Every structure is written in C-alpha cells, then in structure tokens.
Structure 1
Amino acid sequence: MPPPVPAIVVPAYNRPACLQRLLQAVAVAHYPHRNEAEVTLVISIDHAAQNESVVQIAQNFIWPFGAKTIIQQAQHLGLKQHILACGRLTQQFGSIILLEDDLLVSPWFYRYAQQALEFYEPDEQIAGISLYHYEIAENGFYPFLPVDDGSDVYFMQIASSWGQTWTARQWHGFEQWLNQNPVFDSQNNQYPDYLKQWSEHSWKKMFIAYLLQSGKYFVFPRLSLTTNTGELGTNTITKGLFQVPLQQAQRMYRFVPFSESKAVYDAFFELLPKSLNQLTNVIEKYDYTVDLYGTKTLQQITTPFVLTTRPVNHAVMYFGQEMVPNVLNIACNISGAAIKLSAATDVVYRETPAFTRYYRLASIAEKVFAPLHNYPKISIVLPFLPQDTAESLLQTVRSLTEQNYPNLEINIVGWNKQNTATAIFNQANAELQHISVVNFFSSPLPDAHLLDLLQTGIQNSSGTIVNYTPKIGIIYQNYVLHMAAQIFSGFGQVNWITGTGANQPQITDNRTSLPQYRWNKKRFASASLQKALQLLQPQNMFWRKFLWNDTGGSFPPDCPNLPHLGLFGKFWERDPLFTVFRPITAGAAASETFPQNLPEQFQQEFANIQQRLKQSQSGWAASVIGLLAKPFYLHDVPYLRYLYISLQHLPPIIRYHVPTNSYYLSQF
C-alpha cells in the first residue's frame, strides 16, 4: 500500500513577510517524485480589509510538486474558525499537514509526516501528529525534556499548533466532539489552569479538552521538524521563546506503538505513572500522580499519593533533584529531599509565584538563571539545645530547604553531637537524613551554652554569607535566600543587611523613609537598650563572613549578656548596616517584647558598646539643623527629610521591584 500523500495547508491572514518566509522554506523541502505522487499546496487566506500583498505572494509563488490552490475567505473568520475550516480539508484530501505562517520547516518535514501518518493512522488512541518538539512546557514556561525510551517520538495529551498533521478520521473525531461541546468548560477541575487562561480565540484549548475527554494523545518528535518564530499575532505575545532546533539531515525514524512507549505525558507535561513504573519499580506499589512541576491542584490529583516538588507535611519517600529530566531522579533513586512521594492530603498547596517556580527545578535552575544571578554559598546556623524539639527544628529547616536555593548550607549545632543527632533522628530521621545541605556539629566545651553553639556553627560555616538565629522554630520568608544572593551579588558596597517587620506598601513607593528601621552608628550609640533589642535581631540579618573574621572571629568576650549587640557594634566599626524593605522572618520583627527594666549589668554592657561607637560631636550649627530637620524625616516630609538623611549619613534603603524581580538602592 503506498504511503499517504497529505496536502500542505497554510492558513494566512495579514503577515506577508511571514508567509513569504514559510513558503520559501516549504519550497526547498524533500518530497516524493512527481511521477510517484503529487503534493497539493493549499493557501487559505482569511478575509481582511487590506491584505492584497498576502494574496499577491500566494498567487506568485511557484509550486512545482503538484497542484496549488488559493482559498480567499469571503468573510473574516478569525483564527479559531479559520483553523477549523482548514481542518475540514482532511475530508477532501484524506490527510493534511497544517502550517501556520509564523513557522519555519525542516527540509525533511514532509518525509517525517508521511512515515508517521503511515505508522500511527490505524491507532485509535492517536488524535494527531505533531511536527514540533517542545523544549519549553506551556504550563508555566518550564524547561521540558522527554525521557528517552529508544524511539524518536513521545506522546502527550497536548495538541500541537506549530506544525501538525491529521487524517480525515482523526479530524472527524475531534469535530464530532466539538459539535457536542461547542463551549469550553472552564469549571472542569481536570483541565490545567494554563488552559483556562487561554483566549476564546484558541482552537487548541478545545482540542486539548477533546484529548482529555476522549483519552487520546498526540505524537511528538524528539527532534523538531518545525519551529515557531514567535511573530506577534492573535494568540502570541512572546518572540523566540518557542524557537527550537530543526532536523537538518535525513534520518531513519524509529517509531514505537503507543501501547509500548515509556514516554507518555499528560496535559501538564508530566510523565504518566505507567511510564515511570516502566523505568523503575521503586514506587510502583503506590497509586500516585506525578506533579514534579508543582502545578496540579488538590482537585486535579485523584490518587491517594502524589510525586511532587511542593512542600509536604510528611513524605513516605524522598528523592534528590540532580538529574534531567526530573523523573530520572526517581528512576536512578537519587538521594535528597527535593522530590517527595507523599499522601495527597499532606501536600501544602500554596500558590507559588510564577518566577520562583523555576527554582523548584533545582537541577536546571543554575543553567537557566546563571546569566541573571550568582549563587553565593549561604550558611545558616541553628542551635539545638536539650529543651528544643525536633518539630521546631524541622519547621525552621523546611522554611529554608523549600526555597530550593542551589548553594545552601545549614549547620545544626548541639551541646553534644551524638545526643543531638539522636534526639533529632528519633523524631525526624526520615526527613533530615535526605537533606544533603544539613551538617551536625557540637561544641567542644563540655558545659556549652547557646553562645558556644553559635560560635561553633559560625566558625564551621563555609559560606560567604552567614545568618544565625538564637532560637529555632522561626520561619524564614520563602524568598530570603534568593533575595540575599541578589543583594550581595549585585551591590559590592553592601556587606550587612537587616530586614523590616512591616507590612509592605507598594514596592515602588518611595514616599516612606522607614525611619524606625534605618540605623547608623550614631543612632545605635544613642538608642535605648529596649529599642535595640527589639529592632536589631540576628535572625533578621545576613552578613558577609569576612566581617566576622575581620572583627575577631568571635562574639566579644566583654559582652556576655548582650553578645549579639556586641557583635553588631563590632560590625558597625567597619561597615554600615543596610535595611532591605522586606521582612526576613515570618511575623513582624518588632513583635517580640523585652522587659522595660533590664538588669544593671545589661545596661552597663550596652553603654560600653555605645561608647566605642560615639563619634566626635558635630559643630553646633550641624547639630541644630539636625534637630530641626529630624521631625521632617520622622514624618516623611518630601525634600526636607533629605536634609536629615544627609546630615546623619544614613545608608540607602534596598527596595524590591516586583515586575523585574530585582533590588535597587533608594535614599527614601
């Protein structure tokens, strides 16, 4: 039986340059000899008030491989109806290859389409064949790489719109369903969220709905035969995002029946459990859903268990995230804690900001974002005392590891290493043993106190950026590690930062000078002890480790009651403190209260710290001007507040800009 000879159908509208480019690529592709079969070219032009140039290009184009037909639509159809009209041409030609005008094609696209049609036409589960290979998933713009199964194809419940071929039977099945379901059901919980956000002008969302309802799939090549150029159009707002390499040399295609494939994906670009279980039996006894991109809602998970990168309250199995594609971490049983097999009810289904979703793919995060950000090593020091609980420790550790920062070190320090590890592992062994960034230390002193633990943890920190907390159980904000990396990588003059505890106003709002959170040596030297303890807390600070080394490499021995303020005083002797207009830990930094009447030895220690920072008094004129200007600063009076900021030499505020996910310095 001779192979199918699909007609090439090109829908066009008002982009003459795009049409010209596509037709030139189509003209130099490889086709059967005309004595063997004639290939029909159909150029369908949607009606527009001014598209004479498009019509002229179509008319002037020479097609030597068969008949050329130009269809000029009598009225404007719009993209959706135009594609549907082109799809109906399958009834006339038996099969078609549909190429929208914003595509380019490989010289071998027609040979691939012929062979794929011949192989998969009998399979009732195949609803179409794509000529395009995805490298970016459409469910959140993640990198996508299908798992290798020895063939040249993979399968997805995704319709292709960037070069595809249908038989008359395949198209008839879709159109029959469409006649019964003319309106997209946006209330269907099984439809991916990205699908619901697409325009009503999209025929593709209807076809994907059909695939989900019918249980059918598209065939995709591993090496693309078409590429999207990203020209602006009805449903396109990006340029170049979906451009992919094209096949340039002839190949012998290795097709595999759908029922035998190990690379079958759902509409979320997730590998089906059936396929994953063919790669490994490590989790096959569980009834689970794959959600490694972390985009499925609880309603979309219909199994008792889920394989996910989302945070969970408890997991039955853990895996690392070192390999690509992500499923190979399970197939190769990579140790770690980034991927969890958990009961669906134990998953924390909180919304993840679109930008930070990338960081869940820890194995590719550095490759994707290296041009944007550096990743200095960050060390977090956590003390673990006999009265502390493993749950409190895990609460803090989870708030750090769930940020998927690629260069993190957590140093847990106990009064006795063996007893500390035993106490923790008795309660949390299943979780902590899979977190490779956690280190355990103990103080060398037999009667170690909190300060000794912190000293040991900081001295053993290998990161260039350090943060420590005097007490475990705190929760770090889910952006702080990446925030610290951006700030310390981007601003060489910043060596020490603190966050605010305030509810944030508009991020680009420069109307507030944040007087309660801005500090310099002079303010610290004149502040009350209660105010300093309340607003200068170590868990809300990150600093470069060389500050520690340059100021003695230890907590000041003459400040046994106020070691943290003593350390900050040392830092202030060397560098200014910069305030970031974002909280670092959950809850207000100023929420903790301290006694109004602290012991006399505390007051004396603080007075000694302040004395070291006291500067020579300014001239009487500057002092008077400063006193007069301070109310304007405290009340954020424009222009006049700047006078006080200048006289006091207050360092700039570091503010966050949401649209660009970046930080900038501001005087206000």
Structure 2
Amino acid sequence: MTPAPIVLFVYNRPWHTRQTVEALKKNEMAKESELFIFSDGSKSGDEEKVEKVREYIKTIDGFKKITIIEREKNWGLASNIIDGVTTIVNQYGKIIVLEDDLATSPYFLRFMNEGLEMYKDEEKVMHISGYMYPIKKDGLEDVFFIKPTSGWGWATWDRAWKYYKKDVDYYLDIFDKKMIYDFNLNNSYKYFDQIIQNKQGKLNTWGIFWYASVYLQGGLSLHPKESYVLNIGFDEEGTHCKAATNVYNVDLIKEYKPNFTKTIVENIRARKALEDFFNSIKPSFISKVRNKLQKAIKLIKL
C-alpha cells in the first residue's frame, strides 16, 4: 500500500501550525508519506504572522518528501483548499487533508490509508473522516457510515472529488424541503443555512459544498467512533471560528483497533447519536432572548 499524499493548509497561526505538524510527525506512517504544504498569501496586517509560519514550515522534517507551495497573494481559505485538493488528488488519485489547527493521534495516517485502500473501489464511499464529535458511543461499532462529511482531518479519492461543485444557485434550486430536513439531520444542525449564507455573502466556505456534493451523489462518509483528530483552533484566532468553545473537544483514540465494516449503509444509530449531540448544544430559548436583549442594549448605548 502506497501512502496517500498529505496536504496541509496553513496561513497565519505559527503556534497552531507547529502543534499540527509535531503531532503528525509522531504518526506511524509519517516517514513514508509525502507532505504538501499550501501557504496562503497574507492579507493586510497579517504579513508578520504569515512570514513566521513560512519560516517554520521550511524547517520541517520527518516525512518522505516535503513540497511547499507559497501563494503570492491571498487566495482565502476556501479557494486555497479547493485548488490544492483538486491539484494533488488528480495527480495521485487519493489524498489526506489537514488544516493548521488539527492535532492528530499517532494512528491517524494509518486509519486514513487503510480506509482509502479498503474502500477505493466502493463508489458509494466518498469521504473518510478522522474526527468524530463527542457523541454517546453506546452500542456503536468502531467505524460507521453517515451522510455528513467533516473537514477536520479527512481523505478522499479522485473518483469522488470529481463531483465537487461550489455553485450556490445550483444547490438552492435542487434542494427541496424534504431534502433539506434530511441534509440537516432532521433539523438538528443547520447545515443548509451555510449554503444560504454563502449566497448572501456572509460566508465564503468550501466544506458545506463538499457535503452537498456527496449528498446529491447518494454518497456516504466513513467515521470512527473514537476520534483520531482534535480541533485546537477554537480560540478566537481561526478564519471561521471567532468564538472560544470547548463543546467539540474530544479525547484522541489511544489504541488502533478499527474493524472496517463491509456493510455500506447509513448507520441509523450513529446518525441519531449525532443528532442528539447537535440538539444538546443548541442555545436554549432563555439564552436566545438574553443575547437579543444584550444586542439591543448595545445598540441603545450607541
């Protein structure tokens, strides 16, 4: 089995980038793997931090080969990822993707590569996730299939990525109410609102369109019961994570024992566990009212 290339996207967070790389270097298959690092160009005011990141990534070792791509201008996270993933997956046929705020288990690369090999010819399997939310795990298998994708450490094949489509109007036109309800996991999480916000110009993201692309192909995503990835970016420094929170914190898996399933169907129990988690972190009616009052008071003071 030839390891899939790892693609890491970095920008202006030196500390996070170092944590991500150091954890990745501890992976069993790191020395056998090629690493591609896409460093986005700076926006005004970010020049110093971007330069610090670029100085650090040039010192990285511990991988079979390291290739650094420095963008001359600021592409933005979405465009940088879409272009980088497309370029590398089309060249190698498979890919493992990380951003600069993801600490991985030492078994992350092994899980990803074995999953890529196991399901390489299964057209219905379109995505492999390294992260799983802190759901209740009672009765769940080591791995399972659900519909949503996850951008916090993932892998795919060129046969699946070819369906990627970032076209807001296309999705707004094709999704009906029944599809949106299912896409939103019975309205436990407002995934589809992200597409609407991209239309409104409030967001410019890539991940929701990957989930939508997989969904419309009838595809499924492989997820582990125990997470191989921890997101360390919820500290108000991230591009799309401006509020500090710990609700997505997980303990990384401590031993490698995935029992890859050959039953490629949506796992209803796992889906329900995810729905329950999302419902549990929704703000209460009282907190919503409190937030509205606080905003109103601020406006009055202004």
Give the shorter-chain TM-score range: 0.7 to 0.9
> Superposed, which structure 2 residues align to 1:574-613 within 5 Å?
none
2:141 equivalent to 1:145: no
C-alpha deviation, 1:293, in angstroms:
8.4
Task: Say whether the 8 Å CA contact 1:156–1:264 is kept in structure 2.
Answer: no
Quickly say closer, same or farther: Cα 1:271–1:223, change in 2 above 3 A: closer
Q: 2:262 aligns with which of 254, 257, 262?
A: 257
Q: TM-score, normalised by structure 2?
A: 0.77
Closer, same or farther in 2 for the Cα pair 1:196/1:222, shift >3 Å? same
Between the two structures, name the one with larger relative contact order (CA 8 Å, sep ≥ 6). 2
User: Which residue is equivalent to 2:12?
Assistant: 14
Greater percentage in helix: 2
Task: Call closer, same or farther: CA 1:212–1:24 in 2, change over 3 Å.
Answer: same
Deviation at 1:197, TM superposition (A): 3.1
Counterpart contact for 2:145–2:267, Cα < 8 Å: no
Cα displacement string for residues 566-598 of structure 1 (whole angstroms, at most 9, x for unaligned residues): xxxxxxxxxxxxxxxxxxxxxxxxxxxxxxxxx
Q: Distance in 2 between matches of 1:115 and 1:74?
A: 36
**1: CA distance between counterparts of 2:267 and 2:211?**
21
Which residue does 2:211 correspond to in 1?
208
**CA deviation after TM superposition for structure 1 residue 145, in Å:** 2.9
* Equivalent in the alignment of 1:24: 22
Matched, 1:156 2:146: yes
What is the Cα deviation at residue 96 of structure 1? 1.5
Question: Which one-letter code corresponds to 1:213 in the other structure?
Answer: L
Letter of the structure 2 residue corresponding to residue 152 of structure 1: D
Distance 1:21 1:73, change over 3 A: same
1:260 to 1:210, Cα distance in 2 relative to 1, 3 A: closer
Partner of 2:192: 196
Would you say 1:42 and 2:36 are equivalent positions? Answer: yes
Judging changes above 3 Å, is the alpha-carbon distance between structure 1 residues 261 and 218 closer, same or farther for their aligned structure 2 residues? closer
The structural deviation recorded for 1:209 is 1.5
Is 1:165 the counterpart of 2:155? The answer is yes
Give the Å deviation of 1:185: 3.3
- The code of the aligned residue for 2:133 comes to Y
Per-residue CA deviations over 1:358-382 (Å, capped at 9, x if unaligned) read xxxxxxxxxxxxxxxxxxxxxxxxx
Structure 1 residues 29, 184: CA separation in 2 closer, same or farther (over 3 Å shift)?
same
Partner of 2:284: 356
SS at match of 2:291: coil
**Pick from 66, 69, 74: which aligns with 1:68?**
66
Q: Give the letter for the 1:18 counterpart.
A: H
Partner of 2:78: 80
Change (3 A) 1:185 1:173: closer
Equivalent of residue 243 in structure 1, options 214, 225, 249: 249
Question: Please, what TM-score do these two structures have when normalized by structure 1?
Answer: 0.37
Following superposition, the deviation at residue 259 of structure 1 comes to 3.2
Q: Secondary structure, in 3 states, of the residue corresponding to 2:109?
A: helix
Q: Computing the radius of gyration over CA atoms, which structure comes out larger, 1 or 2?
A: 1
On the 8 A contact 1:42/1:70 being kept in 2, the answer is yes
Q: Give the SS at the match of 1:128.
A: strand
1:658 equivalent in alignment to 2:290: yes
- Aligned-CA RMSD value: 3.1
Task: Give the 3-state SS of the residue equivalent to 1:62 in structure 2.
Answer: coil
Q: Could you say if the C-alpha distance between residues 259 and 155 of structure 1 is closer, same or farther in structure 2, counting changes exceeding 3 Å?
A: closer
Instruction: Tell me if structure 1 keeps the 8 A contact 2:163–2:214.
Output: no
Structure 2 unmatched runs, 5+: 199-203, 294-302
Q: Distance in 2 between matches of 1:184 and 1:104?
A: 35
- For 1:116 and 1:23, the matched residues in 2 are separated by 22
Structure 2: distance between partners of 1:221 and 1:104: 16
Identity rate, percent: 23
Q: Following the alignment from structure 1 to structure 2, what is the Cα–Cα distance between the partners of residues 46 and 13?
A: 5
Deviation for aligned residue 1:237: 2.7
Structural mapping, 1:537-552, within 5 Å: none
How many residue pairs match? The answer is: 266
Contiguous gaps of at least 5 residues in structure 1: 136-143, 273-290, 296-325, 327-352, 358-478, 480-655, 662-668
Instruction: For residue 354 of structure 1, report the CA deviation from its aligned partner.
Output: 4.6
